[in-house]
Structure 1
Amino acid sequence: MLDREGETVARSRPVPALSPEATTPSATLDPQDWGAVRRQGHRMLDDMFDHLEGLAQQPVWQCAPDHIRAAMRAPLPIEPVDLAEVHAGFRETILPYGSGNIHPGFMGWVQGGGTPVGMLAEMLAGGLNANLGGRDHMPIAVEQQIVAWMREIFGFPSTADGLFLTGTSQANFVALLIARTRVCGSGVRTGGVRAGDKLVAYASEGVHGCVPRAMEMAGIGSDNLRRVLTNERGQIDLAALRRQIVRDEADGFRPFLIVGTAGTVNVGAVDDLAGLARIAAEHRIHFHIDGALGALGILSDELAPLFDGIELCDSLAFDFHKWGQVPYDAGFLLVRDGAWQRETFASPAAYLTRAKTGLAAGEWWPCDTGPDLSRGFRALKTWFTLKTYGVRALGHAMAASCRLARSLAERIAHEPDLVLLAPVELNIVCFGYASRDALDDGAINARIVERLHAIGEVAPSLTTIGGKPAIRAAFVNHRTTEADVDRLVESVLAAGGDLLSRA
């Protein structure tokens, strides 16, 4: 390569040249012995079944020791290695040191536990290796089926469309771009946002961090996201929102987006979605809902009333890989009118020429409705999950998560050394160790969480409530039981007591 003066310089890390002996007469990467690969594949599958079956007997999380981390820092592989040997390396250096979210004692962050069915479907999708950008093949029809089911679940009209994305962070960004196009017109795609447009958006103080980041990525700027005060339940204050919109309109700003939240990430609060829909309609503003944490709770008869008004939004983002228990990643965006998506993303290209028949046919190409041309078959593991378990069982599991949260809140109320730090609206509980001997700054809560992670039986996370550290338990995993709640309470009390005695 050349430096700035045009002189040739050496690469800092040259790639070793392949010797003639390393080359093979055939370019195919398929095995020469399919039977051997089949037997090894069965061993790998059995290993994962054994791992999932024995989760409760394993640590939630354990820190990888130095020699394991060192083993991962290996030279670039030049020569082939037997699949069985590579699998053995996986078993030793990766499998025991995962993030822990599949374990029943994992309560730290809002992450689903996955299922054996989803794992198997992911294997099938990998074997099929379909590109879901477009064209006429049945994997496209599977994603269309998921879109149709989501229209039905959330009460959207027949004009609604949707697509899979990596997660709600990306789905929120795509929704913001759609809202921007709706207010500025399709010319914003080529001309960009003009300084005179003065676009502003609105969300609660509890909005997820991906929303201000989306404002930044869209070139609008996070300073133009108005973060509205919340009430005592963590919901956006509707009166304060109205006042802010009226003030902005009077000052020459152009409101283009209201983001409601169906389950705030910190405390699980659900905004008054019907109230937000009314305000958005009055001011002709795109109404989007970030439903990453809770939107699928509508599948539970017990939880559905919390989400009244969700059917009124213009776009809805949520994750199947959270409460839907689909393996990562499987985010989804549902949009009230698919024409808005096509106006925002569809682009003619010679290499995407369509045909009436053949593989290049098909009326629905997801590359016209979102940012990705190369897209994985996320729909298959979602389709398998919905078909195999049925939405009734998924809804029941979600309601059970909320009952565990309420159970923990009741335990906290009866423990003099624990205090509840935020209302329990859904499936998240924020609390702290509150012995009269504990420091008022809540610092002991951070030390308790670190200790519990190291022990490996339960894994809550750490957040801040009122500017002070708090223990946060998020119940998302379908494997978590009442016994795990008891273990959490007992572990927090034991760790807090021990830390105070040592102090």
Structure 2
Amino acid sequence: MQRQDFVSATEHIADWIADYWHTLRDRPVRPSTVPGSVSAALPDLPPADTDTIRAVLDDFDRIVAPNLTHWQHPRFFAYFPANVSPASVLADMLIAATGVNAMLWETSPAATELEETMMDWLKTLMDLPPLWHGVIQDTASSATLAAVLMAREKVTDGRAATKGLAGLPPLSVYTTAEAHSSVEKAVRIAGLGSDGLRIVPHDDDFAMRADALAAMIADDRAAGRLPALVVATVGTTGVGACDPVADIADVAGTEGLLLHVDAAWAGTAALCPEFRAPFAGLDRADSYVFNPHKWMGVGFDCSAHFVADRALLTRTFSVNPAYLQTTDGVTNYRDWGVPLGRRMRALKLWFVLRLEGADRLRAMIRDHVAWADWLARLVAEAPDFDLVTGPALSLLSFRFAPGGTDAATADRLTGALLDAVNRDGFTYLTRTLVAGRPVIRFQIGPMTTDWSDVEAAWTRVRTLAADLHPGVAAE
């Protein structure tokens, strides 16, 4: 591609992005795509000759764009947010253009030292322990895997890494049924098996019971198991539950287990001092992760992982062939996780924190939490709906339960309502189970959202509910 062609294409793409963001509110959140229709629109074979950038962009507009689910949409209230700010997009352009591999300090000194500094900035902004050491992983799943492997390294004194797990007592990792699925995946990858994941009972608020944790550890020791790690969550995916980190740290410290805290979504709320109460005791964790690529406007992927013992983390992952041996006395992030190759993700944090600013991010978080409170009141006051959980920060869940319906009917109607909402496309919501029964999650997180979007989505939910069941008021 010639220079002028590249400049012209980037100008076109920049205009497309600006128009896309400007028109998002007028689009459905989800497309009405039929499975297989996108692949059917693509050629069976790759081209042998070059194509024009104009043709590629036209096909993007024709095939790809109409079949996207719009995660940046102001009425995207499903899952958790994956916010992308303009500042992050600009940084990603430079990351792609420079093509830096940040595996070693010498392969790009600026990438390494920028990452070190950005992790220090996050510690300052969120009042995290100053002696922690930080690294940007791709996702919280990778950070959780790192924590499991660190615990395996420590509790087996390195034997698992050198000789394998054969001949060792079975290892145990403790969490609750509300923890993210990545915990079980990490336990499997680490070779501990699903039986090595011990599910600790939770209380009525879905928070881990520290007394039950202590009892399970004692029972496992008596049964010949080797307790290794506790994974606590601040802001679970299902309902936003928060485990009592300080109480869990007491148990982990007494029993000699590592403690990993997963705050992938909720961690960004710690930018605001008034939302830090659930993080009490966090300074005693051995590993902690939250995702700036969820609620902070830093485009995917950017997961902030902190550890108390840098040497344990690097010992767990370091493999040092001759072709990777390099300068001593510097940080080489290839030893801080599974991948060798690494993108210069810190540039996105740098751009976002400078161009968006911490105060603007705090204001957004406070708005989202306030709007979740207002929405919860509307749900609680609606005669045909039950507010089931929350709000936990900006997340709540509800059930469609018209007067006179039994539990089975309410569950069926709740599922039918969610299907109707997501077929409609005006907003996008997701499901979870609470005490074994289906509920609808509503999580406010997009940077583009204002209260009118929340209110409009709730109005549409009620309208669709009225279509499903006679006698239900539309508003």
**Equivalent residue for 2:64?**
94
Aligned residue number for residue 378 of structure 1: 345
- Aligned residue-pair number: 467
What's the offset of the Cα at 1:374?
0.8
Read off the aligned partner of 2:422 and give its amino acid letter.
Answer: H
**Could you tell me which of 318, 322, 340 is aligned with 2:294?**
322
State the one-letter code of the partner of 1:63.
S
Stretches of structure 2 lacking an aligned partner (at least 5 in a row): none
Identity of aligned residues (%): 27
Structure number with larger C-alpha Rg? 1
One-letter code aligned to 2:105 = R
| In 2: Cα distance, 1:165 partner to 1:131 partner | 14
2:192: which partner in 1?
220
- Equivalence for 2:303: 331
After TM superposition, the structure 1 = structure 2 runs for residues 55-454 of structure 1, keeping only pairs within 5 Å, are 55-64=24-33, 68-136=38-106, 137-157=109-129, 159-355=131-327, 363-436=330-403, 438=405, 440-441=407-408, 442-454=411-423
Q: Equivalents in 2 of 1:90, 1:105: separation in Å?
A: 24
Residues 423, 39 of structure 1: alpha-carbon distance in 2 compared, 3 angstrom cutoff: closer
1:100 alignment partner, SS class? coil
Q: What is the Cα deviation at residue 68 of structure 1? A: 4.6
Normalising by structure 1, what TM-score?
Answer: 0.88
Contact 1:159–1:337 at 8 Å: present in 2 too?
no
The answer as to 2:437 corresponding to 1:468 is: yes
Shift of 1:159: 4.7
Structure 1 partner of 2:20: 51
Distance 2:399 2:72 in 1: 25
Q: Which moved more, 1:201-210 or 1:91-100?
A: 91-100
Query: What CA distance in whole angstroms lies between the structure 1 residues aligned with 2:327 and 2:211?
Result: 53
Give CA-to-partner distance per residue, 1:79-99, whole Å, 9 cap, x none: 110011101111221123222
Q: Using the TM superposition, give the Cα deviation of residue 269 of structure 1 relative to its aligned residue in structure 2, in angstroms.
A: 1.0
Cα shift at 1:302: 2.3
After superposition, give the CA deviation of every residue in 1:416-438 in whole Å (9 maximum; x if it has no partner).
01111223222211101111255
1:264 aligned partner, one-letter code: T
What SS class does the counterpart of residue 79 from structure 2 fall into? coil
CA distance in 1, matches of 2:461, 2:244: 34
CA distance in 2, matches of 1:439, 1:112: 37
Q: Distance in 2 between matches of 1:71 and 1:437?
A: 49
Offset, 1:238:
1.5
What is the TM-score when the length of structure 2 is the normalising length? 0.93
Task: Provide the alpha-carbon RMSD of the alignment.
Answer: 2.0
**2:447 alignment counterpart:** 478
Q: Secondary structure at the match of 1:386?
A: helix
Q: Residue in 2 aligned with 1:359?
A: none
Q: Deviations over 1:289-341 (max 9, x none)?
A: 01112112111122122322222211002211111221111122111121111
CA distance in 1, matches of 2:101, 2:287: 25
1: CA distance, partners of 2:195 / 2:362: 38
1:155: Cα distance to partner?
Answer: 4.7
Q: Distance in 1 between matches of 2:143 and 2:233?
A: 14
Checking the alignment, whether the CA contact within 8 Å between 1:150 and 1:334 is kept in structure 2 is no
Unaligned runs of 5+ in 1: 1-30, 357-361
Taking the TM superposition and a 5 Å limit, the aligned residue runs for 1:17-56 are 31=1, 33-56=2-25
For 1:114 and 1:34, locate their aligned partners in 2 and report how far apart those are by CA, in whole Å.
28
Contact kept in structure 2, 1:314 and 1:336, CA below 8 Å: yes
- Report the more deviating stretch, 112-121 or 101-110: 112-121
Q: Which secondary structure state, in structure 1, belongs to the residue aligned with residue 87 of structure 2?
A: helix
In structure 2, how many angstroms separate the alpha carbons of the residues matched to 1:103 and 1:344? 40
Which residue of 1 is the match for residue 425 of structure 2?
Answer: 456
Amino acid at match of 1:373: L
Cα shift at 1:471: 1.1
